[in-house]
Amino acid sequence: DAKTTQPTSMDCAEGRAANLPCNHSTISGNEYVYWYRQIHSQGPQYIIHGLKNNETNEMASLIITEDRKSSTLILPHATLRDTAVYYCIVRPRSNTDKLIFGTGTRLQVFP
Amino acid sequence: DGGITQSPKYLFRKEGQNVTLSCEQNLNHDAMYWYRQDPGQGLRLIYYSQIVNDFQKGDIAEGYSVSREKKESFPLTVTSAQKNPTAFYLCASSIIGQGNEKLFFGSGTQLSVL
């Protein structure tokens, strides 16, 4: 079973910030939080990941709560091309453990 | 360009037939993975490999087989034992490290049953 909980769907107006929440209340101290997105009929694309600190890159920002039980992916200025399914995943430190994808959040950006 | 190439994009299987999906990477990654995705669902792990000539079953390995004869290649065979093979199949690769390695995905193969 997936270790994360995400809303099934969200809407966002073009140009506004999209804030996608993720609950990972059972996360362990050695597990990273990863975000990927999947545009219809394509392979998932890596967005960002973090362990404890907030992270930012050219695509998004990742805010992780102090207790690490939840996080938020922020797309600062959503565009129509950001319409996709967004997956929040916890990744164990050991590569022998399996990466589990849930059903993700379907983000619809509208004009 | 470096990346992962999956072929074919679309594949049709007849009843009782084995089919093989190709996955090649030129990223020099040690680990490779196969996932299955059903409509509206997340990804489920079929098999993964961390080194040549070695691989492990994922959550839904029944009816599938793999080989890893070369570092760059990780083909997946969908056998006749897989009774519900229609799905979108994704191959991925990564380096092996401390758990902070991102996955790189191919563009997928859509398999359908005739």
pLDDT tens by residue, A22-61:
999 988 888 889 999 999 889 999 999 999 989 999 999 9
| Highest mean pLDDT (candidates A39-43, A92-96, B10-14, B88-92) | B88-92
Of B42, B92, B108, the CB nearest to A103: B42
A66, A6 Cβ separation under 8 angstroms: no
**pLDDT interval class at A98 (50, 70, 90):** low
Where is average pLDDT lowest: A7-11, A88-92, A93-97, B74-78?
Answer: A93-97
B106 in reach of chain A (CB within 8 A): yes
> Closest residue of A to B10, CA-based?
A41
Distance CA(A56)–CA(B34), nearest Å, equals 29
Neighbours of B54 (CB within 10 A): 8
Residue A14: left if φ>0, alpha if ψ -120 to 50, beta else—which one?
A: beta
- Put simply, the answer to whether B90 touches A92 (Cβ < 8 Å) is no
| Mutation for testing the B interface, residue in A30, A35, A38 having most B CBs under 10 Å | A38
In this prediction, residue A93 carries a pLDDT of 64
- Put simply, the answer to whether A98 touches B59 (Cβ < 8 Å) is yes
Tens of pLDDT, residue by residue over B36-55, are 999 888 889 999 999 999 99
In this prediction, residue B1 carries a pLDDT of 56
How would you classify the pairing of strands B54-57 and B87-94?
A: unpaired
SS3 category, A19:
strand
In this prediction, residue A92 carries a pLDDT of 72
In this prediction, residue A3 carries a pLDDT of 82
